[in-house]
Amino acid sequence: MSTARRGGRRRPAETGHDEPDERWAVSYADMVTVLMCLFIVLFAMSSVDKGKYEQLANSLSAGFGQEVTEGGADTVEGIVIPPDAVMDEDPEDLAAMAAAEYESLEELRERMRASLAAEGLEDTVEFVIDDRGLKVGLVGAETFFADNSTDLSAKADAVLDAIGGVLADVDNQVSVEGHADHRSPAAPFPTNWELSGGRATQVARFLVEHERIGGPRVKATGFSDTRPIAEGDGADELARNRRVDIVVESDEKDEVRALIPAIAEATQGR
């Protein structure tokens, strides 16, 4: 073979041109495969079995107390929710519940009155039924506490003993709330917060320690002079603002308790 013939065919490297790189085809094929899988999944999701769909709908309807459509339901044992538990409360039902709660609080009030009357103490407290429950106001701080003191008087012990005997028979939460007039207290109380809170605490302690009312049911709060019920600087007005309230809280829902004041007003207006 001649030298010219051997040199007639040149290798690619010798021509100065590279062969095409076809590695991109692998990535392209992977992308096409992923797209194909995506469209298969979307198609499968769009194809709903009508029979199975109706069974699911009927099962949910039966569970919520609704009528079952034709085709039957997938009967599964469990708790069936009545329709009235799913729907909002009827206004008439709320009113009936509020009336029943008012009667319960009224009956509690009368039991306290009778207990106090038996000891000749019926004029030492004031009763109010409102959206919080039954409020028992200890009238006149001097009746229950010495001036600028948190120590309970002998009369206070007798009143709380009569009230506590009734409270021990119910399960309601009890809020003891102390109040003061706007004048600054003397030592050892730096402000009316300590004075009003200390008096509320003493009443709460008496109910828990002497009347055996469960501690988790009782709370004590001091409001200082922030919630006066009488305006003026006269002796009577100041005495009314120096008070301790015992609130027997209603355990009904907010919608029911909100109706109690109107029922109380209507009842008192008869």
Q: What are 134-172's pLDDT values in tens digits?
A: 999 987 666 788 778 899 999 999 999 999 999 999 999
Buried b (16+ CB within 10 A) or exposed e, 100-130: ebbebbbebbebbbebbeeeebeebbeeebe
Predicted confidence (pLDDT) per residue in 170-182, tens digit: 999 999 999 998 9
- Decide: 245 and 137 in contact? Cβ < 8 Å: yes
Task: Give the tokens for residue 90.
Answer: 């009827």
First to last CA, the chain: 135
The count of C-alpha atoms lying within 13 angstroms of the C-alpha of 4, restricted to the half-sphere facing its C-beta, is 0
- Decide: 167 and 213 in contact? Cβ < 8 Å: yes
Beta-bridge mates of residue 174: 218, 248
| Cβ contacts of 240 within 8 Å, gap of 6 or more | 139, 140, 229, 230
Please work out, in degrees rounded to the nearest 5, the angle formed at the alpha carbon of residue 255 by the alpha carbons of 244 and 107: 50
User: How much is the pTM?
Assistant: 0.66
- Decide: 175 and 221 in contact? Cβ < 8 Å: yes
Predicted confidence (pLDDT) per residue in 21-46, tens digit: 677 777 778 788 878 877 776 776 66
- Strand, helix or coil for residue 220: strand
Rounded distance between C-alpha atoms, residue 90 and residue 84, angstroms: 9
